[in-house]
Amino acid sequence: MGWDNLPRTLLMYYTNFVSSPEGYFHTVICNSEQYRNTTVNHDLHYIAWHTPPRQHPLSLTLTHFRNMTQSGAAFARKFRKDDPVLDVIDKQLLGRQPGKFTPGGWCVGTSPDEDRCSVIGDTAVLHPGPGAKRFEGLIVSQLVPATFRANQCVLPEDRPVLLRQQSHRSPEVGSKQTSRLFS
């Protein structure tokens, strides 16, 4: 099987997976000689799993909030609709008020009676907040020279690697791990 057929073959293979998009693109990239050495095996998600893992992850709640934010992950899943943790994320992490936009560096309104984003400044301005520092810590931890190569795609001889991307896992339900399925 040549490289030209791999994306199509993987598409057919992943058709039978519950969460196929989570592994498809990473697997194609890790099997591409052009990109293989530019990747890190981490999907930047915080996911809490049952022990032992089941088909679906735990729904994140307020009990996961501290571990979720300390993980530095840019994304998290899964949440139940209208769970109170979503309001806490909006207020504490995003600075978003109910019914308003999440403020960015371009929001320059100063009136206490108005939405900060009702006055728009320079849309190219970016003011990194505490979340950016946490995210930077995660990225730096993945790029540390001592562990960088170990965190990259690992390919066995003459076989493509089918990846399940690494995610931060909640300490109370399991440790951080990567699983790889070789075909």
Mean pLDDT over all residues of the chain?
Answer: 76
Which two three-digit tokens encode residue 31? Answer: 């099997």
What pLDDT, on the 0 to 100 scale, is given for residue 182?
25
What pLDDT, on the 0 to 100 scale, is given for residue 64?
96
Confidence of residue 3 (pLDDT cuts 50, 70, 90): low
Contact between 178 and 43 under an 8 Å Cβ cutoff? The reply is no
Residues 52-78: tens digit of each pLDDT: 888 888 999 999 999 999 888 888 989
In 3D, which of 91, 93, 44 has the Cα closest to residue 71? Answer: 44
Residues 4-43: tens digit of each pLDDT: 677 788 788 777 776 666 677 777 888 777 877 777 777 7
Between CA 136 and CA 142, with CA 141 as vertex, the angle to 5 degrees is 100
Q: Does residue 83 surpass a pLDDT of 50?
A: yes
In 3D, which of 81, 89, 95, 155 has the Cα closest to residue 128? Answer: 95
What pLDDT, on the 0 to 100 scale, is given for residue 103?
80
Q: Does residue 107 surpass a pLDDT of 80?
A: yes
